[in-house]
Structure 1
Amino acid sequence: MGFYPEITGVSGVKAISVTLYARTMLTGVLIDWGGVLTTSLSDSIARWIAADRIDGDLYRRVMRELIDHAYGEGDGESVVHALERGELAGPAFERDLAARLLTVDGVPPVAEGLLERMFAGFERVEAMYDMLRDVRLHGVKTCLLSNSWSNEYPRDGWDELFDAVVISGEVGMRKPEPRIFHHALGQIGLAGEECVFIDDIEANILAARAIGMAGIHHRDPDTTIAELESLLSLTLRRA
């Protein structure tokens, strides 16, 4: 069983926090796509804001409210919940979002193709793809676990990277709902205590830990790969 007690100590005047892991051998890696296997969402969004002349301050206020509700403690359902589960079609969400935004010229942006333009700046992070190839060569099972925003995924070569693929809009579940983690674990035939989950959203990491998985909060490839090496006791490539 996994547990994560927080031990706080004092060295001089500086408090440190150490997370301890006591668990069975890890033999599975579940991993997010956007912002983990790709360059950051913030970089892609910044390019879109510039290209479409979006009022960036308004966009950030609108999106913060939507995301805080979807991944925080907001009551009830939102358009993001529905979009990620595939209950709301992409074009409908684009119209909803475009109506909330303005360009710097004071008019709503073009709704059609809005999501495609937002995510157009995503680029593959080769170091993360090399890492996945390495862990599979060592017999570790891998599963892509991604919340989709009605977007297309570049799936070329996925057969050599993943034992299973779980896309929220295709299964009618979304992170951080526990049921999607259980579904993904079932696809690779492992228990939570046997797996590590990698994601760039803290709420999703906390949800994975709550069902016994180890969690790595992704910020950059080198740090994530180093943490995974430690958890799996493996040496992994860096591009």
Structure 2
Amino acid sequence: MVTGVLIDWGGVLTTSLTDSIARWIVADRIDGDHYREVMRRMIDHAYGNGDGESIVHALERGELDGAAFERDLAARLLTVDGVPPVAEGLLERMFAGFDRVEAMYDMLRDVRGHGVKTCLLSNSWSNTYPRDDWEEIFDAVVISGEVGMRKPEERIYRHALGRIGLAGEECVFIDDIEANIVAARALGISGIHHRDADTTITELESMLRLTLRRA
């Protein structure tokens, strides 16, 4: 019986990162192909089988501040004019295209209304979160940069489970990065690989045996 929902923020409770990045590439005149190659290497190392620590690991755990990461990333990128983009405010501009997905927030309100525990479990990139109504939605909030742990590390899942007082087998985890779901499943947590709100809510309804709002 699933009685707890752990859920990611960016790309799950918001519109996709891909869409936000696409807007930023146009606005900042970024060389898109070069950006994608740079970021592919960084993300593959951070979430795949890369050896050792990386700048992404440090950023997500809060060991490196956003300004330092921006300077490092800007030095790796190019605009279409062949020069690095402005480093200051780079992360804010990259994520400026995130919009709330209201159907997902409505779903979480319904989930809590049925007595299911909810916990935000998010890897932060030194970004600001819109927390206005979080008390209505979450029983607990676990943000990587605030707790010094990151997905897919086992310890952050155990920390989140402890915050809501449930065992892994009692919870489902919703995330848009498959590596994070694989790590959660190793602890007995069920996983939903998020692609869009309607599909995720349908899968969650089946797991919880509930009818949940979609609009």
Interval containing the TM-score (normalised by the shorter chain): over 0.9
Q: Secondary structure at the match of 1:88?
A: coil
| Alpha-carbon distance between aligned partners in 1 of 2:144 and 2:31, rounded to the nearest angstrom | 30
| Alpha-carbon distance between aligned partners in 1 of 2:67 and 2:103, rounded to the nearest angstrom | 33
Q: Give the superposition deviation at 1:142.
A: 0.1
| Alpha-carbon distance between aligned partners in 2 of 1:160 and 1:28, rounded to the nearest angstrom | 15
Q: Give the superposition deviation at 1:164.
A: 0.2
Residue 202 of structure 2 corresponds to which residue in structure 1?
226
| Alpha-carbon distance between aligned partners in 2 of 1:184 and 1:205, rounded to the nearest angstrom | 14
Q: Secondary structure at the match of 1:44?
A: helix
Q: One-letter code of the match for 2:65?
A: A
Residue 17 of structure 2 corresponds to which residue in structure 1?
41
Gap regions ≥5 residues in structure 2: none
| Alpha-carbon distance between aligned partners in 2 of 1:228 and 1:190, rounded to the nearest angstrom | 18
Cα RMSD of the aligned pairs, angstroms, is 0.3
Residue 136 of structure 2 corresponds to which residue in structure 1?
160
| Alpha-carbon distance between aligned partners in 1 of 2:141 and 2:167, rounded to the nearest angstrom | 17
| Alpha-carbon distance between aligned partners in 1 of 2:189 and 2:195, rounded to the nearest angstrom | 19
TM-score norm. by structure 2 comes to 1.00
Residue 119 of structure 1 corresponds to which residue in structure 2?
95
TM-score norm. by structure 1 comes to 0.90
The answer to whether structure 1 residue 86 and structure 2 residue 58 are counterparts is: no
List, as ranges, runs of 4+ consecutive aligned residues in structure 1 with deviation greater than 6 Å. Answer: none
Pairing 1:62-101 to 2, within 5 Å after superposition: 62-101=38-77
Task: Determine which of 173, 190, 214 is the counterpart of 1:214.
Answer: 190
The answer to whether structure 1 residue 26 and structure 2 residue 2 are counterparts is: yes
| Alpha-carbon distance between aligned partners in 2 of 1:189 and 1:159, rounded to the nearest angstrom | 18
| Alpha-carbon distance between aligned partners in 2 of 1:102 and 1:237, rounded to the nearest angstrom | 44
Task: Determine which of 112, 131, 145 is the counterpart of 1:169.
Answer: 145
Q: Give the superposition deviation at 1:191.
A: 0.4
Q: Secondary structure at the match of 1:143?
A: strand
Q: Give the superposition deviation at 1:173.
A: 0.1
Q: Secondary structure at the match of 1:91?
A: helix
| Alpha-carbon distance between aligned partners in 2 of 1:62 and 1:211, rounded to the nearest angstrom | 32
The answer to whether structure 1 residue 128 and structure 2 residue 80 are counterparts is: no
| Alpha-carbon distance between aligned partners in 2 of 1:106 and 1:132, rounded to the nearest angstrom | 45
Q: Secondary structure at the match of 2:181?
A: helix
Pairing 1:160-199 to 2, within 5 Å after superposition: 160-199=136-175
Residue 3 of structure 1 corresponds to which residue in structure 2?
none
Residue 144 of structure 1 corresponds to which residue in structure 2?
120
The answer to whether structure 1 residue 205 and structure 2 residue 181 are counterparts is: yes
| Alpha-carbon distance between aligned partners in 2 of 1:156 and 1:192, rounded to the nearest angstrom | 28
Between the two proteins, what is the percent identity of the paired residues?
87
Q: Secondary structure at the match of 1:47?
A: helix
| Alpha-carbon distance between aligned partners in 2 of 1:238 and 1:160, rounded to the nearest angstrom | 17
Q: Give the superposition deviation at 1:116.
A: 0.2
Q: Secondary structure at the match of 2:13?
A: coil
Q: Give the superposition deviation at 1:36.
A: 0.0
| Alpha-carbon distance between aligned partners in 1 of 2:107 and 2:148, rounded to the nearest angstrom | 29
**Larger helix fraction of residues:** 2
Deviations 1:134-192 (Å, cap 9, x if unpaired)?
A: 00000000000000000000000000000000000000000000000000000000000
Deviations 1:22-61 (Å, cap 9, x if unpaired)?
A: xxx1100000000000000000000000000000000000
Q: One-letter code of the match for 1:173?
A: M
Residue 9 of structure 1 corresponds to which residue in structure 2?
none
Aligned length: 215
> Larger Cα Rg: Structure 1 or Structure 2?
1
Deviations 1:197-233 (Å, cap 9, x if unpaired)?
A: 0000000000000000000000000000000000000
| Alpha-carbon distance between aligned partners in 2 of 1:80 and 1:187, rounded to the nearest angstrom | 25
